[in-house]
Structure 1
Amino acid sequence: MKQWRNKLSSVVLAFALYLSISSGGLGLADVFTIERALVSAFLTFLALLSSIVLAVLSRTGAQRTLYCIFATVVFYCIIQFLRADSIILALGKLDGLVFASGLVFILGRAVQVHDAVELRRSLIVSAIFVLVLTIAYKWYFGFWDREVRFFLNGPIIFGWLMAVSSLLCLDVQREGSRILYISLAVIFLLALFWTESKGPLIGYMIGATYLMTSGGKYYRLPVIVAAFWLAGYVAVANNLFPSRFLVLERMISGTLLASDFGSVGVRQLMWLESLEMFSQRPFFGMGLGNWASNSMISFQFGERIVYPHNIIAEILSEHGLVGAVFFGVLFWLIYLRSSRLGRCVFITICVSLLFTGDMGNWHFLVALPIVLGNYPVAKGR
């Protein structure tokens, strides 16, 4: 009975962790008020102070360096926030990078302290529960309508969560119950296809390849590449791909259509605008959230496009070379500090962020790989 209570407690904590990942922060930027601004200022100061304290209390040099760099990034974001043209956009970015990362880190540590061995399995159970609710929700409001929310999130974030859940299953199946976890990995992958999100799918393919070939098992690479290519060929030949995915085939074949502008052409223009902003202010960029106020595309499309849909373009245009150094060092240290699974998730999300998302989603990069990099690993893995 005690064992089952512990497992239930682990699942409850893991579900809270899942919700903190999916929420992307505290929602302080949803509606601007003076009270929310003051709370945001207090939490930002608290995050900065906590990073410094953790750096002082760290037992290893690697941890100390990581916390120091994160504190530096938070301080730099505070300076960039003071330059913001839109407080709401800037708060939304801080919410994702600072507040959401802190919340994910705290809840992740709570799960690890309670039962670190069950961390991945409990997260998988949470993802199954959310997927079932999402299917029921979409079945009622519009199963194939991408404009209908995927219960808790939009298609992009839901796609990321399903990709991460599938990777968790691929990692756990090495330790037993292979048929069960491989089957669940396939189900989560189908849920990713359901979103019709191209960035998460490309990120998943690269992340899964890394996970399955890590540990020197490079002999698997040709088989994995051949399997992906064959599956893609069969799907395209039999018209099984959703229409949104076919743009990838047209990009490879060089046969883009005018209808692809909203997916490909507009991104190219956004990235060119970002380079133009970077050339104007190469050292410190335009300021936190200021891509939108300096973009003609954002002016034309309004609230639908307020960031360049590319992590590199966003860093260079809003934070310049100085920010690129700070963020680059932070991301590199997180990658080095993470386990094989954590690195796999980092790669998956990082590739996805080359096509969509902004700083409001960076808790997937900053906190999640660290949380997944601290579970006990079986001998020989």
Structure 2
Amino acid sequence: METMSSISTVIRRDSFVFAIFLSAFVYLLLVFGGVLPFSDEDSLKPIMKGVMLVGFILLFCFVDFRRKSVESLLLFSAAGLFFGVLLLVRASNFEFAVEKIDGAIVCSCIVALLLDHGYRRFGRERFQFAFVIFSVFVLILTVVYKIRFGFFDRSTRFFLNGPIVYGWIMGLCAILSFDLWSSRRHSYLLFLSFGFFLALIWTESKGSVLAFLLAMCVYLLWDLRRNIKSIVFVFCFLFCVFFLFSDVLMDMLSNSRLAAVGRFLNGDLGGADEGSFGVRSILAEKATQEFWDNPIFGIGIGEFRFGEYVYPHNQHLEIFAELGVFFGIAHLLFVFSSFVVASRVNKAIILLFAVAASFSGDASYLRFLYSFCLIGYLGREPVSRGQVREA
């Protein structure tokens, strides 16, 4: 009883420790992809998902979540799970199909609920800072792990996850850190943002790099007049970095997977490696053909097959190909309307994950995109701790 009472006391107290804990929970949910103990490829992932499920149940018992947010997310998840169960009838790979539903629907709702609670309880900036702090901790552990097992070996896990998910999270943290710097003007936040960007480059994830650059352009240009000094300062900073280290950077990139970015920009989509834009374009053509052959109901959730590939590495096309035109249009309308109502930083994050989803991952990765799309529909969150009000 004393233990339960102390836990309740810590949670009731708006301590930064609890903000860090909540941020860690969000981070791990994004890493493991849900709470339903199913996985088509990893024997450890179902165990970790089970742990996350128990953890969320405990959080739900102790934390006073905003009732309106819970009701809104329950409505979204109920609709998603209803159609998800109907889709499972046609699934030949049950575990893979459940994993997709878990990531896109269940995980997205839980992450959105935790983000909404964190923003309202601690203020958006303070909770963003907590997430950044925990991400720095994971980054340090990842560097140590990679030094031990292969720093530049992309096939070696990035501690908790592979290069795709890690690159997406590093891109997210770079945007969050830059947004904090934009409002607080603490120089260390700008260096943190640049450090996260270097970690993104480290993953050699081409689609993630392109998505991040596009998202940052939208963030900087969305309110050009108010941020003209920030834009000039950042471009001057990047120019100096490039001028000082251009030779080293060019040597590194010429021998890395990121050289395919140059091929993409030049229109030369050759290359047979799995990560090349050429292979992605072939998979996109296959998914498009599957959609035209089955436009109404699609081929079925988890039914995409092309050689060794079981998803087209384009989540938007995957929805059209596997679920049909109605789910595809609903997906696009949901993402677009969420972008319209989102705050400036959330616009950049939604764009980051929407573009990244065009290059990598299956539908379970939609947890990244949908989590931040849902935030915009849960009402305005206070920016700073002093603006917190009873909801």
Q: TM-score, normalised by structure 1?
A: 0.79
Partner of 1:182, secondary structure, is helix
Give the letter aligned to residue 240 of structure 1: M
Q: Is 1:157 the counterpart of 2:165 in the alignment?
A: yes
Match of 1:184 in 2: 192
Match of 1:54 in 2: none
Q: Is 1:251 the counterpart of 2:260 in the alignment?
A: no
How far off is 1:376 after superposition?
1.6
Change (3 A) 1:137 1:157: same
Match of 1:281 in 2: 294
Q: Is 1:78 the counterpart of 2:85 in the alignment?
A: yes
1:7 aligned to which of 16, 24, 29: 16
Partner of 2:259, secondary structure, is helix
Structure-to-structure mapping, 1:368-379, within 5 angstroms: 368-371=372-375, 374-377=380-383
Q: Provide the rounded CA distance (Å) in 1 between the counterparts of 2:344 and 2:167.
A: 21
1:87 aligned to which of 94, 109, 112: 94
How far off is 1:10 after superposition?
1.4
Contact 1:69–1:326, Cα closer than 8 Å, also in 2: no
Q: TM-score, normalised by structure 2?
A: 0.77
How far off is 1:20 after superposition?
1.5
Q: Provide the rounded CA distance (Å) in 1 between the counterparts of 2:236 and 2:189.
A: 22
Give the letter aligned to residue 280 of structure 2: R
Match of 2:60 in 1: none
Match of 1:135 in 2: 143
Contact 2:269–2:278, Cα closer than 8 Å, also in 1: no
Give the letter aligned to residue 202 of structure 1: L
1:306 aligned to which of 310, 332, 335: 310
User: Mean Cα displacement is larger for which, 98-107 or 276-285?
Assistant: 98-107
Q: Provide the rounded CA distance (Å) in 1 between the counterparts of 2:187 and 2:237.
A: 19
Match of 1:361 in 2: 365
Cα deviation per residue 1:105-159 (whole Å; 9 max; x = unaligned)?
A: 2322342354234111100101101101111111111111101110111000000
Q: Provide the rounded CA distance (Å) in 2 between the counterparts of 1:334 and 1:244.
A: 33
Change (3 A) 1:75 1:333: farther
List alignment gaps of at least 5 residues for structure 2: 1-9, 54-66, 387-391
Match of 1:347 in 2: 351
Cα deviation per residue 1:272-317 (whole Å; 9 max; x = unaligned)?
A: 21122111210111111111xxx3x2xx32xxx2100112220110
Structure-to-structure mapping, 1:226-237, within 5 angstroms: 231=242, 234=246
How far off is 1:360 after superposition?
0.6
| C-alpha RMSD of matched pairs (Å) | 3.5
Moved runs in structure 1, 4+ residues, more than 6 A? 221-230
User: Mean Cα displacement is larger for which, 131-140 or 248-257?
Assistant: 248-257
Q: Provide the rounded CA distance (Å) in 2 between the counterparts of 1:72 and 1:208.
A: 33
Partner of 2:218, secondary structure, is helix
Q: Provide the rounded CA distance (Å) in 1 between the counterparts of 2:27 and 2:77.
A: 23
How far off is 1:85 after superposition?
1.5
Q: Provide the rounded CA distance (Å) in 2 between the counterparts of 1:310 and 1:155.
A: 17
Change (3 A) 1:31 1:333: same
Change (3 A) 1:346 1:94: same
Contact 1:69–1:330, Cα closer than 8 Å, also in 2: no
Match of 1:106 in 2: 113
How far off is 1:29 after superposition?
1.8
Q: Provide the rounded CA distance (Å) in 1 between the counterparts of 2:268 and 2:337.
A: 40
Q: Provide the rounded CA distance (Å) in 2 between the counterparts of 1:308 and 1:229.
A: 37
Match of 1:271 in 2: 284
Q: Provide the rounded CA distance (Å) in 2 between the counterparts of 1:222 and 1:122.
A: 25
Give the letter aligned to residue 88 of structure 2: F
1:173 aligned to which of 166, 172, 181: 181
Partner of 2:201, secondary structure, is helix
Cα deviation per residue 1:211-253 (whole Å; 9 max; x = unaligned)?
A: 1112244995996899989959946983231520111112333
Contact 1:206–1:348, Cα closer than 8 Å, also in 2: yes
Structure-to-structure mapping, 1:10-89, within 5 angstroms: 10-26=19-35, 28-30=37-39, 58=68, 71-89=78-96
Change (3 A) 1:199 1:285: same
User: Mean Cα displacement is larger for which, 346-355 or 103-112?
Assistant: 103-112
Q: Provide the rounded CA distance (Å) in 2 between the counterparts of 1:15 and 1:348.
A: 21
Contact 2:123–2:383, Cα closer than 8 Å, also in 1: no
User: Mean Cα displacement is larger for which, 217-226 or 138-147?
Assistant: 217-226
How far off is 1:58 after superposition?
4.8
Q: Provide the rounded CA distance (Å) in 1 between the counterparts of 2:272 and 2:287.
A: 23
Partner of 1:239, secondary structure, is helix
1:329 aligned to which of 330, 333, 348: 333
Percent of pairs identical after alignment?
27
Contact 2:112–2:375, Cα closer than 8 Å, also in 1: yes
Q: Provide the rounded CA distance (Å) in 1 between the counterparts of 2:212 and 2:100.
A: 24
How far off is 1:28 after superposition?
2.0
Q: Provide the rounded CA distance (Å) in 1 between the counterparts of 2:40 and 2:355.
A: 31
Match of 2:342 in 1: 338
List alignment gaps of at least 5 residues for structure 1: 44-56
Change (3 A) 1:228 1:68: farther
